[in-house]
Amino acid sequence: MSATTDPRLTNARVAPKKRMQLSWSDPVFRNLVIQVAIIGGLVLFVWYLAHNTMHNMEVQHIATGLAFLGRTAGIPIAESLISYEPSTDTFGRVIIIGILNTLKIAVAGIVLATILGTLIGIGRLSKNWLIARCTAIYVEVIRDVPVLLQLLLWYTLLQGLPGPRQSLHLGSWLFLSNRGLKLPILEWTDAHYWVLAAFVLGLIGTLAWNRAAKRKQDDTGIKPAVWPAALMLMIGFPALIWVALGSPLTIEMPVLKGFNFVGGGTISPEYFALEIGLVLYTAAYIAEIVRSGIQAVPQGQWEAAGAIGLSTGQILRLVVLPQAVRVVIPPMTSQYLNITKNSSLAVAIGYQDLVSLSQTTLNQTGQAIEGVGIVMGVFLAISLSISLFMNWYNARIALTER
C-alpha cells in the first residue's frame, strides 16, 4: 500500500527567515544608529563636564562631596520652624530649615491664592457691574506688573509702617508695625499633639463615612447625613481627648515693653511681604482659570438647575463648580508650580528660604556645585510631588464611561 502525501503538509513549508539588511537605506537601522549616536554623544558630553569640573576643583584644592553638611554652621537665622543654635548646629540643619521655610511659603501661598483666585474668578462673572469691573481691573493690573516688583513694593510699604510704640492695632490682639505682625499664639504642649492626632483620625473617619454614604446613595437613592458624623468625629472626639488630658489652654498675648513687643507670635515683614505678593500675583491667574472653567460648563446646566428651584448660589456650588473643576485642575497645577518656584525670589527681600540659606552656605564652604545641586533637587522633588498629586486628583475626578 503506497503512502499518500497530504497536499496541505506539502504546501505548509516554513518560509526561510529574512536576514536583516544592515543598510543605511533601511529606516529602522538608520533610526537605531542615530539614536545610539545621540545618546552616546550626551553621555560623553556629561562625562567631559564632570571630569573637567573634578579636575579644576582638584587643581584649586576644593573639596568635593557632602561632608560639609556635618560642619558647624555659625549662620544666624531669623525665622525657623525648628530649634536652631548657630554655635552648635550644622549646615545640614541649615538646609533643613531652608526647606521648611520654603514649604511654609508654598503651602500657605497655594491655599490662600486658590481661595482668593476662586472668589475673584466668580466675581468676574457677577451681574453686579461694580464687582465685575473691579475684579477685571485687579486681574489686568496685577498680571501686567512683574512679581519681583510687587514683592519689593509690599516690602517697602511694610518697612514704612510706624514703629512698635505707634503700631496699628486691633484691640490688644493684633499689632502691625515695621517689625511685622504680632498676634496671640497658643502655648503648645504634649496634650495638643494628641488632640491633633484625634482630629486627623476624625477626618479620616469622616471621609470613610462620606464614601459609605455615597455607596448607599447609589444603591438606594437615599444618602445618609454626613454632618452629624463629621461633627462627632472631627470636633467631639478631639474635644473629648482634650478634656481627658486636663483641658490645657494658655494663650500667649503680645505685650509692648519698651521699644518692642514681648510674647505672642510674629509674622516678619519679609515673610508677610513675600506671601502677600505671591498670593495676589498668582490669584490673578487662578481667577482667569476659574472664570474659563465656569464658562466651559454648558448653559443648559444653569437652566436645568434653575428649573428645579435652585438659587444662583446653589447652582454655582452644587452644579457648576463641580463640573468646572475637571477643566480647572490641569492649568491650576501650573500655577501651583509657579508659586512654589517664585518663592525663590525671597532672597530679594531678605527672607531666609532655601535659596537664601544655600547661598550663604556655599559662600562659607565653597561647595557651590553641591549647594546648587541640593537646591535643584529639592525644588524638583517638591514640583514632582505637586504634579503627581494633582494628576492623581485629576484622574480621580475624571468622567469615565461605564
Domain extents in the chain: 91-159+270-397
| pTM score, whole prediction | 0.80
- Whether the pLDDT of residue 330 is over 70: the answer is yes
Span 334-347, average pLDDT:
92
Q: What is the pLDDT of residue 266?
A: 85
Span 176-185, average pLDDT:
87
Only one residue has cell 521648611, namely 100
- Whether the pLDDT of residue 262 is over 50: the answer is yes
CA distance 173 to 360: 36
**How many CB atoms lie under 10 A from the CB of residue 155?**
21
CA distance 377 to 95: 12
**How many CB atoms lie under 10 A from the CB of residue 353?**
27
**SS3 state of residue 21:** coil
Q: Phi/psi at 268 (nearest 5 deg)?
A: -65, 155
Residue type, 316: L
- Whether the pLDDT of residue 402 is over 60: the answer is no
Give the confidence band of 1 by pLDDT, cuts at 50, 70, 90: very low
- Whether the pLDDT of residue 209 is over 80: the answer is yes
- Whether the pLDDT of residue 65 is over 90: the answer is no
- Whether the pLDDT of residue 93 is over 80: the answer is yes
Most confident of 18-22, 129-133, 296-300: 129-133
Q: What residues have CB less than 8 Å from 328, skipping those under 6 apart? A: 289, 290, 293
CA distance 31 to 229: 62
Q: Phi/psi at 317 (nearest 5 deg)?
A: -80, -40
- The CATH-assigned architecture of domain 91-159+270-397 is Orthogonal Bundle (1.10)
> Half-sphere exposure of 287 toward its Cβ, with a 13 Å CA cutoff?
27
% the chain with pLDDT above 90: 34
CA distance 387 to 65: 30
